Amino acid sequence: MDSSSNEVVQDFSPLVKIYKDGRVERLVGCEYVPPSFDPITNVNSKDMVISREDEDISARIYLPKLNDENQKLPLLVYFHGGGFCVGTPFDPAYHQFLNTVVSQGNVIGVSVHYRLAPEHPVPIAFEDSWTVLKWIASHCGGNGPDEWLNRHADFGNVFFSGDSAGGTIAHQMGIRVGTEGLPGFNLEGIALIHAFFWGVERIGSEAEKPEGVAFMENWWRFTCPTTTGSDDPLVNPAKDPNLGKLGCKRLLVCVAGNDLLKDRGWYLKELLEKSGWQGVVEVVEAKGEEHVFHLFKPNCENAVSLFNQIASFINHS
């Protein structure tokens, strides 16, 4: 074997390593758990292929225990994190998270599987996610390909959510709903969990964490080679001329106290309030916690609180 095949040319630990021969080694997010009935939460799940042209675009659909066979429920569309590079809805941590949120929120859930960088560089993740949303919206008249969505989804009461890079996607999908629309599809709210927003200008405590800042700068260019840089509107809401067109009425921004991205979450609230957006934004902070802590410590007090906040956000009248 050519020894160069083991030479690392880009090391983005703890996410991915890229080797000289082009091989991509994903260090996390590769575990798979099948869809199933979860006896703890009474949530059932199944997988659906969304794009017949590319089976990498798919979704896991979740249905909670029903009161009757025709019950309509709010719809939650979830976008997983992983830096656009790793992770799937089929990862055990995400599967457990969706079972919990779907049960506590009493919603029907769709967890989106988009294609990953670097093989499929950003903005492919955004385009794949929009493809899934159009597929979901095709059920609005009750004649879509999935019977759970046809029978049980209330398309007048739709929510998006996502963590880390998935939060970035959820935000951008909200902008796209506001600018392009989805017929028959009312986006009521978005819950962002430790969303990846960035920018050239340092804010808050970012200047005190040069290593983290350098990682973010390099990682964004790695996942999106065509980007204009850290002020790309895809990741910097301050540079997005469509920010005020965010297509929902309510926004919940969850941040973690020890997360490098914390200040960007608070800054988003400030930006939205100045943008002319007519909705209501709330920021909640989990003190002393790290980035996406709830996936690694789902039973800790702050994670339980986070799940309750999301469920309350969805069921807010």
7 and 56 within one domain? no
Residue 301 pLDDT? 98
Q: How far apart are CA 38 and CA 314, in angstroms?
A: 22
DSSP-derived letter for residue 206 is G
- The pLDDT tens digits of the residues spanning 167-192 come to 999 999 999 999 999 999 999 999 99
Do 26 and 45 share a domain, yes or no? no
At residue 2 the predicted structure's pLDDT band, cuts being 50, 70 and 90, is low
Give the count of domains, the chain.
2
Q: What is the pLDDT of residue 4?
A: 59
Beta-carbon neighbour count of residue 2 at 10 Å? 8
What is the DSSP secondary structure assignment for residue 185, as one 8-state letter? -
Given this model, what pLDDT does residue 277 score?
98
Contact 242/271 with Cβ under 8 angstroms? no
- Mean pLDDT, residues 303-312 taken together: 97
Residue 55 and residue 17 in one domain: no
**Residue range of the domain that includes 193:** 31-315
Q: Are 139 and 148 in contact (CB under 8 A)?
A: no
pLDDT digits (tens, 9 = 90+) for 267-290: 999 999 999 999 999 999 999 999
Question: Would you state the structure tokens that stand for residue 270, as one six-digit string?
Answer: 């400030």
Convert the pLDDT of each residue in 59-118 to its tens digit. 999 999 999 998 999 999 999 999 999 999 999 999 999 999 999 999 999 999 999 999
Whether 25 and 64 share a structural domain: no
57 Cβ partners below 8 Å, 6+ apart? Answer: 49, 50, 51, 113, 114, 115, 128, 131, 132
Identify whether residues 201 and 165 lie together within a single domain: yes
* Ramachandran class of 173: left when φ > 0, alpha when ψ lies in -120 to 50, beta otherwise: alpha
Catalytic residue IDs: 164, 259, 291
Judge if 102 and 174 occupy the same domain: yes
Cα-based torsion angle of the residue sequence 316, 81, 220, 222 in order, rounded to the nearest 10 degrees: -160
pLDDT for residue 1: 47
Helices 124-137, 165-180: crossing angle, 10 deg rounding: 60
Q: What average pLDDT does the structure give for the chain?
A: 95
Q: Do residues 117 and 24 share a domain?
A: no
Residues 130, 24 share a domain: no
Position 54 pLDDT exceeds 90: no
Which spans in 75-209 are helix H? 92-105, 124-137, 147-152, 165-180
Distance CA 123, CA 110 (A): 21
pLDDT at site 6:
86
CATH at residue 219: 3.40.50.1820
